[in-house]
């Protein structure tokens, strides 16, 4: 394995913004065969679950809490005005980041899952019924699959699944067969969090719109890692989470076309989202506030704004290139072992993650050994249990890469996997 690096990013400078990457991780190193001192550098490769947070984002949170901590839209005093402006600016920044028309199309939630549920309940319960179909793919995250499954049970709608072929690609001929005049919604992942497959969402948008249906794109793995333009994509809904893109936990984004959001009823009721209330009835605030009931995610939104600034200073094209190169390199290096199965399509036209299994070894056991080498990865079904059933495995091991990861860390992963192979053999 080579250690020569050729990055579009200044990874050394980027890593300096993430103090956690300097941690030494203790494990049973001696028994694992990687050393005897009990400490080894952290190699963080679980970014598809949660990325690390740079100092600039943490500082934005500290500044809010230290200098203008107040509720928004409810106070005349100076701190409330400052907080309100910062919160509204965060909506504008997100709209700019994903190519939305304006803040009216940006709703803050807790995460991608809540964004999915908002549409499913506020739109799906009202619009779906017997004779309607919701089309998903076989590689959907549980946030989509389970949510639409439950809405279908309540409304009498049917769920259909676009096949994933043996190479890990979406079968677009099958998609064309499934999407017809009964299709009310197509809900798909933009990038599979297990296979790394990039879904051709523009083509799906054309298909479903030809039948007057809607498209929901789960962008949890794409918004953090590549340029996104929702208008060019022509998706009706798009969702992602802050904690996968250098932002805080506890904030998600739902984009929706203004014309559709305007026709939808609120998902949550209470303070902040109302315009007027009497004992007999209530009316709702304008977009996006009618979908943000109660005290909103103020600090988290400010942190997300800072995270977007940080990523765009790097350049999202560079982020995509860097991730793709690391994932392709990891795919090639892991594929050299005859007893390792790597899932998803090869090459650089994929997301920045690689899922794999070591023959005869459960993913949890492999993950435990890799932890002893300081390598942090994810093991399990990655909230894609039906996809793993299709693959014929109970779980997989997943390494996922981000802006601060290096080719040398991929080498460390492969060395650790090889050490685990020797141990289990």
CA dihedral (343, 348, 350, 353) positive or negative: positive
227: left (phi over 0), alpha (psi -120 to 50) or beta: beta
Q: Is 312 exposed, middle or buried (0-12, 13-18, 19+ CB in 10 A)?
A: middle
Strands 252-256 and 237-241: antiparallel
Q: Are 51 and 402 in contact (CB under 8 A)?
A: yes
Nearest to 222 by CA among 231, 214, 230: 230
Find where tokens 């208008």 sit: 231
Strands (DSSP E) along 5-83, which ranges? 24-26, 39-41, 43-44
- Angle, to 10 degrees, between the axis of helix 316-335 and the axis of helix 407-424? 30
Report in angstroms the alpha-carbon separations of 232 from 115, 180, 312. Answer: 21, 23, 19
Catalytic-labelled residue, pool 16, 383, 393, 423: 383
- 383 is known as an active-site residue: yes
State whether residue 397 is helix, strand or coil: strand
Q: Is 309 exposed, middle or buried (0-12, 13-18, 19+ CB in 10 A)?
A: middle
Instruction: Report how far residue 300's alpha carbon sits from residue 304's, in angstroms, rounded to the nearest whole number.
Output: 6
Find where tokens 């939630």 sit: 109
Nearest to 98 by CA among 312, 403, 247, 324: 312
- Angle, to 10 degrees, between the axis of helix 316-335 and the axis of helix 298-314? 80
The backbone torsions φ and ψ at residue 39, rounded to the nearest 5 degrees and listed phi first, read: -135, 140
- Neighbouring C-beta atoms of residue 63, cutoff 10 Å: 15
Strands 43-44 and 375-376: parallel
Instruction: Report how far residue 26's alpha carbon sits from residue 166's, in angstroms, rounded to the nearest whole number.
Output: 39
255: which 2 tokens?
């984009």
Instruction: Report how far residue 125's alpha carbon sits from residue 137's, in angstroms, rounded to the nearest whole number.
Output: 21
Catalytic residue ranges: 383
């Amino acid at each position: 394995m080579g250690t020569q690096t050729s990055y579009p990013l200044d990874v050394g400078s980027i890593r300096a913004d993430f103090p956690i990457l300097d941690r030494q991780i203790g494990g049973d190193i001696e028994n694992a065969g990687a050393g005897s001192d009990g400490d080894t550098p952290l190699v963080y490769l679980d970014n598809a679950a949660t990325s690390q947070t740079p100092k600039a984002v943490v500082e934005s949170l500290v500044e809010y809490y230290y200098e203008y901590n107040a509720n928004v839209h409810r106070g005349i005093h100076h701190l409330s005005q400052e907080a309100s402006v910062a919160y509204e600016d965060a909506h504008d920044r997100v709209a700019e980041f994903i190519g939305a028309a304006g803040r009216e199309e940006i709703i803050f939630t807790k995460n991608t899952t809540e964004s999915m549920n908002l549409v499913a309940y506020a739109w799906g319960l009202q619009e779906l019924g017997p004779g309607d179909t919701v089309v998903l793919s076989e590689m959907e995250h549980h946030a989509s699959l389970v949510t639409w499954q439950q809405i279908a049970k309540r409304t009498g709608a049917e769920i259909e699944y676009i096949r994933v072929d043996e190479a890990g690609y979406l079968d677009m001929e099958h998609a064309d067969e499934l999407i017809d005049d009964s299709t009310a919604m197509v809900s798909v992942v933009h990038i599979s969090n297990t296979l790394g497959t990039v879904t051709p969402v523009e083509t799906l948008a054309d298909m479903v719109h030809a039948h007057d249906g809607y498209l929901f794109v789960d962008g949890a793995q794409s918004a953090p890692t590549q340029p996104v333009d929702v208008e060019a994509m022509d998706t009706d809904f798009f969702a992602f989470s802050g904690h996968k893109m250098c932002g805080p936990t506890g904030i998600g984004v739902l984009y929706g076309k203004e014309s559709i959001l305007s026709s939808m009823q609120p998902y949550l009721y209470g303070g902040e989202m109302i315009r007027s209330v009497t004992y007999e009835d209530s009316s709702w605030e304008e977009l996006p506030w009618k979908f943000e009931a109660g005290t909103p995610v103020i600090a988290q939104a400010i942190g997300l704004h800072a995270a977007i600034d940080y990523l765009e200073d790097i350049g999202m094209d560079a982020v995509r290139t860097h991730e793709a190169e690391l994932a392709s390199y990891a795919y090639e290096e892991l594929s050299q072992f005859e007893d390792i199965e790597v899932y998803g399509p090869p090459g650089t036209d994929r997301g920045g993650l690689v899922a794999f299994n070591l023959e005869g070894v459960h993913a949890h056991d492999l993950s435990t050994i890799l932890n002893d080498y300081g390598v942090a990865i994810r093991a399990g079904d990655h909230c894609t249990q039906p996809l793993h059933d299709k693959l014929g495995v109970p779980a997989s091991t997943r390494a996922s890469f981000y802006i601060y990861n290096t080719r040398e860390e991929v080498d460390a992963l492969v060395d650790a996997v090889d050490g685990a192979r020797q141990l289990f053999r």
